[in-house]
Structure 1
Amino acid sequence: MDNDVIAYLRKNPELAEFVRYHPIWYRYLMRDPGRLTELKKEAKKFYGKTFPQKVNTFSNQLQMVRMFAEMAKSMKD
């Protein structure tokens, strides 16, 4: 693997962990170090850090807070 890619993975342990979970990326990066941007995108999807995933998570948390508020309100009455 390219030394620059190895150094980048050492600086970004989350990406290194992703590569360990998906060993096919070792082969991809050895053959074409330019696929590092693709690796970053795939890792974001895997860890749920894309914008739609964040919005969905926030929406779910907001819905849960509303449910608890309704439950507390109904217990108070």
Structure 2
Amino acid sequence: MDASTYQYLLSKPELLHFIRQEPVWYRYLSRDPDSLALMEKEAKIFFGKTVSQRLGKMNRQVQMVHMLLQLANAMKD
């Protein structure tokens, strides 16, 4: 792996964690250091940080709060 690529990974602990979870990226980055942007995109998907994943998570949380409010109202009556 290129030294500058390795230094970049050291500066981003989340990416370092991802590459340790998915060791195939060591090989990809050794062969093509320019695929770092692709790895970052895959890491976002892995950690659930894409916009659609965040919206889905927020939607589930809102549904849970709504359900809890309905339960509280049912117990009150």
Q: 1:56 maps to which residue?
A: 56
Partner of 1:49: helix, strand, or coil?
A: coil
1: CA distance, partners of 2:43 / 2:65: 29
Question: Structure 1 residue 51: deviation in Å?
Answer: 0.3
Partner of 2:49: helix, strand, or coil?
A: coil
Aligned residues: 77
Q: 2:47 maps to which residue?
A: 47
Q: Structure 1: state its 5+ residue gaps.
A: none
The TM-score normalised by the length of structure 2 is: 0.98
Q: 2:14 maps to which residue?
A: 14
Q: Which consecutive aligned stretches of 4+ in structure 1 deviate over 4 angstroms post-superposition?
A: none
Kindly, what percent of the aligned residue pairs are identical?
48
1: CA distance, partners of 2:4 / 2:58: 36
Question: Structure 1 residue 4: deviation in Å?
Answer: 1.0
Q: Structure 2: state its 5+ residue gaps.
A: none
Question: Structure 1 residue 13: deviation in Å?
Answer: 0.7
* C-alpha RMSD of matched pairs (Å): 0.5
Partner of 1:75: helix, strand, or coil?
A: helix
2: CA distance, partners of 1:11 / 1:74: 51
The TM-score normalised by the length of structure 1 is: 0.98
